[in-house]
């Protein structure tokens, strides 16, 4: 009892000293402790801000918005100016005046063509925005899967490295037991061979981890190190479970899914294109307003005083004409047939997308629930039982009550179970992401 009290009395000043040391840490050091990892949310935010593919897609929206301005352009008026008549025959030159003309022609659009063009351009903007939104969600989904795989690979490497260290401890113990004569050389060699096999597994797992981390750069538009330096992935993220029922998720998916929004926007744009095609079938008259100027012609007399030409005063007549095309080209209705076919196709695609969405929601929901139940079983039963069995066999082996083969089987079984657990964790994360994508459900 006195010994225990002495140990407690020594530990208390040490703990107080550590507490004071932590309190004296500068603020920037505390921040570095908190920010030396990268969470999935931070990684996805970086993907959204730096992805070159997403930036290229967003240019489509800018181009579509510019189409509204283009659609609002009215036909340019045409200005005409020149010489209407000029006498080229020499003998008549003194008797004629050069007539000049000036005029302007304005095309009058009928059937509200400009309004139909603007409406079609605006619906095209909505269609493009929906497409870019769907691309963004798919990009973030793929990036989330890459982050999940990188975490799984890193945790798998850590487990294999831990198993290797445990096997090396067994080798050291067997070397000591071999020197005392407790085991034979064959068992020592077997333990060394198995340790080498574990080391090769670690080498392969390390290569897989490096490759998985390298894949993260594909979504960033630049290298991972350029954005996050040497910060490691935070693989301890926790996401809320889905608490909505299947009916609620299905209803939300039919309202907010990006691919459904794209299909609906495509249908609306096809309807507007039909209206534009109908408006374009109306002919547009051209109003021509012109003026002709003929200068004054002075009298010319011969030697006897007789007028030899036809004198005239200055003339400036105004003309107004309307040109109406004869619509022989409207005898065919190919553009209407094409627009109607595009609308039918868009409506069928919308129905197909709605049906596929319902099926995907049900499937992803069931997969998520199954993955969630598997993780629950692993955490409540399988992992603890596997670890207890492994520790029991290790203890028995140290006491000589278990063989090397039993130890190796227990180690392999425990590793396989843990690797299966890591894969189940990744499967759950992917199922959660897929459910979020298929239902537009906002999860933390």
Expressed in percent and rounded to 5, the helix, strand and coil fractions of the chain are 70, 10, 20
Contacts of 321 (CB under 8 A, 6+ apart): 287, 288, 290
Indicate left, alpha or beta for 440 from its phi (over 0: left) and psi (-120 to 50: alpha). left
CB atoms < 10 A from the CB of 292, how many?
A: 16
- Find out whether 135 and 334 touch, Cβ atoms under 8 Å: no
Contacts of 7 (CB under 8 A, 6+ apart): none
- Find out whether 227 and 46 touch, Cβ atoms under 8 Å: yes
CA 121 to chain centre: 24
CA 158 to chain centre: 32
- Nearest-angstrom CA–CA distance, 46 and 41: 9
Q: Rounded to whole angstroms, what are the CA distances from 303 to 93, 95, 98, 307, 347?
A: 19, 17, 26, 10, 90
This prediction has a pTM of 0.77
- Find out whether 411 and 390 touch, Cβ atoms under 8 Å: yes
Angle at Cα 248 formed by Cα 245 and Cα 253, nearest 5°? 120
What DSSP assignment string belongs to 252-313? Answer: HHHHH-HHHHHHHHHHHHHHHHHHHHHHHTS---EEEEEEEEB--B---B-TTS-B-S--B-
3 state DSSP class of 320: strand
- Nearest-angstrom CA–CA distance, 212 and 153: 7
Architecture of domain 36-74+109-285+335-439: Up-down Bundle (1.20)
- Find out whether 271 and 283 touch, Cβ atoms under 8 Å: no
pLDDT of residue 311: 81
Nearest residue to 247 via CA among 74, 108, 365: 365
pLDDT tens, the chain, 444 aa long: 444 444 434 433 433 333 333 333 333 333 333 468 999 889 999 999 999 999 999 999 999 999 999 999 999 999 999 998 887 776 666 677 889 999 999 999 999 999 999 999 999 999 999 999 999 999 999 999 999 999 999 999 999 999 999 889 989 988 988 888 888 888 889 889 989 999 999 999 999 999 999 999 999 998 999 999 889 999 876 665 666 788 988 998 998 898 999 999 999 999 999 999 999 999 999 999 999 998 888 887 888 888 777 788 889 999 999 999 999 888 899 999 999 999 999 999 999 999 999 999 999 999 999 999 999 999 988 999 999 999 999 889 888 888 888 888 888 899 999 999 999 988 988 888 888 888 886 654
pLDDT of residue 50: 95
- For the chain, the structural domain boundaries read 36-74+109-285+335-439, 76-108+286-323
- Find out whether 83 and 295 touch, Cβ atoms under 8 Å: no
- The secondary element (H helix, E strand) that includes residue 323 is strand 318-323
- Nearest-angstrom CA–CA distance, 132 and 258: 9
Nearest residue to 427 via CA among 364, 384, 385, 356: 364
């Amino acid at each position: 009892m006195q010994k225990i009290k002495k140990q407690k009395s020594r530990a208390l000043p040490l703990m107080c000293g550590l507490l004071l040391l932590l309190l004296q840490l500068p603020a920037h050091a505390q921040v570095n402790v908190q920010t030396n990892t990268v969470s999935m949310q931070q990684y996805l935010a970086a993907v959204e801000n730096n992805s070159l593919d997403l930036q290229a897609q967003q240019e489509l929206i800018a181009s579509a918005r510019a189409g509204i301005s283009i659609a609002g352009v009215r036909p340019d008026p045409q200005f005409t100016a020149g010489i209407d008549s000029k006498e080229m025959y020499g003998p008549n030159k003194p008797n004629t005046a050069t007539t000049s003309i000036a005029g302007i022609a304005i095309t009058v659009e009928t059937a509200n063509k400009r309004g139909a063009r603007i409406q079609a351009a605006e619906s095209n903007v909505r269609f493009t925005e929906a497409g870019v939104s769907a691309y963004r969600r798919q990009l973030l989904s793929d990036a989330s899967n890459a982050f999940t795989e990188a975490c799984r690979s890193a945790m798998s490497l850590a487990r294999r490295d831990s198993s290797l260290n445990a096997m090396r401890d067994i080798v050291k113990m067997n070397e000591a037991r071999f020197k005392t004569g407790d085991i034979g050389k064959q068992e020592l060699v077997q333990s060394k061979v198995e340790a080498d096999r574990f080391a090769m597994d670690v080498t392969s797992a390390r290569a897989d981890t490096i490759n998985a981390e390298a894949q993260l750069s594909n979504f960033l538009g630049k290298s991972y190190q350029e954005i996050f330096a040497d910060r490691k992935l935070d693989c301890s993220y926790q996401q809320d479970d889905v608490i909505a029922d299947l009916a609620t998720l299905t209803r939300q998916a039919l309202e907010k899914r990006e691919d459904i929004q794209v299909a609906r926007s495509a249908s609306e744009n096809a309807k507007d294109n039909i209206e534009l095609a109908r408006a374009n079938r109306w002919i547009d008259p051209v109003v021509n307003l012109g003026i002709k100027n003929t200068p004054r012609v002075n009298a010319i007399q011969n030697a006897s005083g007789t007028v030899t030409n036809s004198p005239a005063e200055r003339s400036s007549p105004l003309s107004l004409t309307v040109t109406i095309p004869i619509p022989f080209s409207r005898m065919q209705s190919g553009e209407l047939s094409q627009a109607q076919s595009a609308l039918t196709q868009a409506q069928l695609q919308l129905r197909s997308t709605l049906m596929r969405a319902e099926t995907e929601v049900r499937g992803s929901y069931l997969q998520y629930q199954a993955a969630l139940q598997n993780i629950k079983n692993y955490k409540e039963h399988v992992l603890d039982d596997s670890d207890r069995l492994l520790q029991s066999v290790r203890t028995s082996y140290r006491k000589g009550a278990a063989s090397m083969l039993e130890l190796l089987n227990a180690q392999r079984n425990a590793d396989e179970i843990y690797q299966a657990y890591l894969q189940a964790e990744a499967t759950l994360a992917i199922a959660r992401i897929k459910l979020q994508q298929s239902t537009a459900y906002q999860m933390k």
